[in-house]
Amino acid sequence: MRPHGRARADRHSPRAWAICDKCGFLYNKKDLQWQYEWAGNRLVNQNMLVCDTCYDTPQEQLRVIILPADPTPIVNPRPERSQINNNPFTSIGGNIGTMSQAAGLAAAFDSNSNKPFFLSSVRYISTAGLTNTIGKNWTGLDPNNPTVGLLASRFVVTAPNDAKFAAAGVVAYAFQGSNVPAGFTTLASGNTVGTIGEIIDVSITPTTTYLFHQFVLTGDGISSVSVAQLQIYSAG
């Protein structure tokens, strides 16, 4: 009689015998199981019947990692405005103007010109005329002489990446200077193009230093005005 290895014989309940495809020992067929292995994102039968000792748990390293979908974004997000803290002019007099809504006056000086309407300096309902302003107070620019202002030679203004300077369309603008927060002198003027993300880049010939500079947009008393970034360059 041939040795039956690890198989059992029962004359009352006979069961078929089979050889394990890995170790070659004899077992009852019912005690063998199919060997599976990961292939991509599913288990594939290796067409091998093996015993409990020879059975290998499918190797997870052969399994494709399926990344879950990105979380659904929220409506009207409000991310932290960390760049405002990096404003290089925070130690100087401060920001001036009437576009103090949305992200506030400081948003126009946070060194980030590529941002949406809600993170910009905004006036939701503009005032009629050339009266909607955003600017800088340069008091403290020269710690030894606080009455000395900035000799501005160029200004660059950027509209939000999802809005126009004025929602009404093409409007007049001006760049002004003054040594008191009133009675401003116009240093440059023109009209906006009326496109989303518009950039106004104007060089001027400076003759006088000013403690206050401001950019002004014409409003209609109905729609919004906004500025994503205002950069003022000094001749010196």
DSSP string, 182-213: SSPEEEEEEE----TT-EEEEE----S-BSEE
Q: What single-letter amino acid sits at 71?
A: P
Q: What is the pLDDT of residues 65-102, one digit of tens each?
A: 888 888 888 888 877 655 444 444 444 568 999 999 99
State pLDDT tens for residues 141-166: 776 766 778 899 999 999 999 999 99
Spatial separation of the C-alpha atoms in residues 63 and 79, rounded to whole Å = 37
pTM for this one?
Answer: 0.62
Give the pLDDT confidence score for residue 89 in this predicted structure: 45
* Domain 91-234: CATH superfamily, name plus number: Galactose-binding domain-like (2.60.120.260)
Q: List CB contacts of 24: < 8 A, sequence separation 6 or more.
A: none
Domain chopping of the chain, boundaries: 1-66, 91-234
Closest CA to 234 of 197, 195, 208, 196: 208
If we measure between CA atoms, which residue out of 152, 166, 165 comes closest to residue 204? 152
